[in-house]
């Protein structure tokens, strides 16, 4: 079996994330990881909090906390929310860890030794009011390309154009709001991406053949425009320090590496954290996942590396991070597949952590269990284009698919069978033509579901899962056991036994998308864990749960969202963006 390394774009440390962030990186990676584990693959799913850079310092300043303490608290808070969402990370690390500092500094030393880092004098914005140089995100102003008035000095959140702080119109300090800014000279380290452009282009040409158009087009756009040498250090109090053994003067000045230099390396750092955290004598080899594995099976690589991210993160993962890896002249594992997502908007306006607009994941879990959100987000995944969240759409999906299609089927089957035949699965006749047709249909739909999951097409996969649930309802309506019981109880027993086998099948195949609900379905028949996958061929028979098996009737799986609920949600979070 292939070993699968899976990473989600690292969430910033500055506050709980919103649903757009969840659907754009972490949730689909979790669905894919769960599916692969059920298929018997070895999976390592890694993520971490992105703790360096301006957002951390500004958020800590607002909170009135030392930045290290702020980051530690926020890491724990984010991890708790992700646990509540059922995200099955193998490890959720921190870019401020000793492991990431060590590896980031190693990368810098290697790049310097190979001639891909140099010191340059540069002109940078200095705030007279703050008495300090302002890194790019400490400066806000108007984007010269789209006119967005709250653009940051490194990238416009609205149009995603990468910026230099000096590009901004009407710039001001993000710390004090002062416009008393001037340009002064300072020294920084630059990654010479221009010298690596040909190698990066060759990498994208080869690896990008598999990538979805969204990811490959963004990477190629950057390459077409040409790779520019880029500063990788900043004047900040918090970050990975420039190593004094290589750059003593810059280290003495307190320079730290730019967050977008150390953050992708954080995937490797978190993997080493995972290895170092092994207990009870367990030994974990982090290098076998990252070092010397090549880029594919033909080069001796046993690891397939898949990255999940929103489209604004694509340039850094497909161009800048590969350039960093290539420049070390060491065999670091490079990405095989980049699953990029468009944006989930909130009534047409962008979810925004910084502007507190949209539904945040802690609020979501306060309102409803995680599976409601997991299913909705996968059914609405913004893969081909941006998608819009609305409370009306959310309630329609939950009520129709979860409550009516899956939940109602489970409740009808189990309550009717217990009422008529007791607390054990009834036997009834041998399977007939209707059961054969159902088995064939289930096998076809399951194969379709597998195909979409393998292709990382999550919206299509969710539709196929819903179709599997619908097949059970169609079978129930066709056989009508509430009528069969009157004339042929054994026929009704067969129908219910078949339907119970569908419930067990649903427990297995729904696990990647709605794991908590799948666990409830497994408990109906006393099955403790998810176990392996069910192949289409195995599913055809629908005979896993045999007559005489004890079962229980669980509470209602999914409560419907009422008009009163909707009114309350709209009042609390707003409707269409004003």
- Binding-site residues from annotation for ATP: 353
Q: Is the dihedral of CA 400, 407, 453, 45 positive or negative?
A: positive
Binding site feature residues: 143, 146, 156, 159, 353
* Matching residue, tokens 């953050």: 263
Single out the residue of 46, 105, 112, 98 nearest to residue 290, CA to CA: 46
Q: Locate all alpha helices (DSSP H) within 208-339, ordered by sequence.
A: 213-225, 248-252, 259-276, 287-290, 314-315, 321-327
* Matching residue, tokens 């269990």: 369
CA 280 vs CA 42, 92, 117: distances in Å:
21, 20, 42
Cα distance from N-terminal residue to C-terminal residue, the chain: 51
CA distance 504 to 483: 24
Q: How many CB atoms lie within 10 A of CB 323?
A: 23
Q: How many CB atoms lie within 10 A of CB 211?
A: 22
Q: Locate all alpha helices (DSSP H) within 8-139, ordered by sequence.
A: 19-21, 27-38, 54-63, 67-84, 98-113
CA distance 346 to 47: 25
How does DSSP classify residue 138? G
CA distance 17 to 360: 6
Binding site feature residues for Zn(2+): 143, 146, 156, 159
Single out the residue of 517, 511, 285 nearest to residue 409, CA to CA: 517
DSSP three-state, residue 86: coil
Contact status, residue 17 vs residue 79, Cβ threshold 8 Å: no
CA 451 vs CA 461, 556, 564: distances in Å:
8, 31, 39
CA distance 361 to 353: 11
């Amino acid at each position: 079996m292939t070993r699968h390394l899976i990473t989600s774009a690292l969430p910033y440390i500055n506050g709980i994330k919103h649903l757009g962030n969840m659907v754009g990186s972490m949730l689909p990676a979790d669905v894919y990881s769960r599916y692969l584990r059920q298929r018997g693959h070895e999976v390592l799913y890694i993520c971490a909090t992105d703790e360096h850079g301006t957002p951390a310092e500004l958020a800590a300043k607002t909170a009135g906390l030392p930045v290290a303490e702020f980051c530690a608290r926020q890491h724990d808070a984010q991890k708790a929310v992700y646990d509540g969402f059922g995200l099955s990370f193998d490890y959720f690390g921190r870019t401020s860890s000793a492991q990431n500092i060590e590896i980031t500094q190693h990368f810098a030393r290697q790049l310097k030794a190979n001639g891909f880092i140099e010191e340059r004098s540069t002109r940078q914005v200095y705030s007279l009011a703050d008495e300090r140089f302002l890194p790019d995100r400490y400066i806000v102003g108007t984007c010269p390309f789209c006119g967005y008035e709250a653009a940051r000095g490194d990238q416009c959140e609205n149009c995603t154009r990468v910026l230099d702080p000096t590009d901004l119109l009407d710039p001001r300090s993000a710390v004090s709001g002062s416009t008393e800014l001037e340009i002064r000279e300072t020294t920084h380290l630059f990654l010479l991406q221009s010298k690596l452009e040909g190698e990066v282009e060759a990498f994208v040409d080869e690896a990008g053949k598999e990538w979805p158009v969204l990811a490959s087009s963004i990477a190629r756009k950057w390459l077409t425009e040409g790779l520019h040498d880029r500063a990788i250090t900043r004047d900040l109090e918090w970050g990975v320090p420039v190593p004094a053994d290589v750059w003593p003067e810059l280290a003495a000045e307190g320079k730290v590496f730019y967050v977008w230099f150390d953050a992708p390396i954080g995937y490797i750092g978190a993997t080493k954290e995972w290895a170092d955290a092994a207990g009870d004598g367990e030994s974990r080899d982090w290098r076998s996942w990252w070092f010397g594995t090549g880029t594919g099976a033909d080069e001796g690589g046993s690891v397939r590396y898949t990255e999940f991210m929103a489209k604004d993160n694509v340039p850094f993962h497909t161009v800048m991070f590969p350039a960093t890896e290539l420049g070390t002249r060491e065999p670091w594992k490079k990405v095989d597949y980049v699953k990029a997502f468009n944006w989930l908007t909130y009534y047409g306006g962008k979810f925004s952590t910084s502007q507190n607009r949209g539904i945040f994941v802690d609020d979501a879990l306060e309102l409803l269990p995680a599976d409601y959100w997991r299913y909705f987000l996968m059914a609405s995944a913004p893969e081909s284009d941006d998608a819009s969240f609305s409370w009306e759409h959310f309630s329609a999906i939950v009520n129709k698919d979860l409550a009516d299609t899956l939940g109602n089927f489970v409740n009808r089957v189990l309550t009717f069978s217990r009422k008529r035949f007791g607390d054990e699965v009834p036997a009834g006749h041998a399977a007939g033509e209707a059961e054969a047709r159902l088995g064939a249909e289930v096998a076809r739909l399951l194969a379709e579901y597998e195909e979409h999951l393998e292709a990382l097409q999550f919206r299509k996969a969710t539709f196929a899962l819903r179709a599997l649930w619908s097949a059970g309802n169609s079978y129930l309506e066709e056989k009508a056991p509430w009528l069969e019981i009157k004339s042929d109880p054994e026929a009704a027993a067969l129908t219910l036994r078949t339907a119970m086998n569908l419930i067990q099948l649903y427990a297995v195949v729904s696990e990647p998308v709605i794991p908590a609900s799948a666990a409830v379905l497994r408990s109906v028949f006393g099955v403790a864990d998810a176990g392996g996958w069910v192949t289409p061929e195995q599913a055809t028979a629908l005979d896993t749960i045999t007559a005489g098996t004890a079962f229980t009737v669980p509470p209602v799986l999914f409560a419907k969202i009422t008009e009163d609920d909707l009114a309350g949600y709209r009042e609390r979070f707003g409707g269409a963006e004003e």
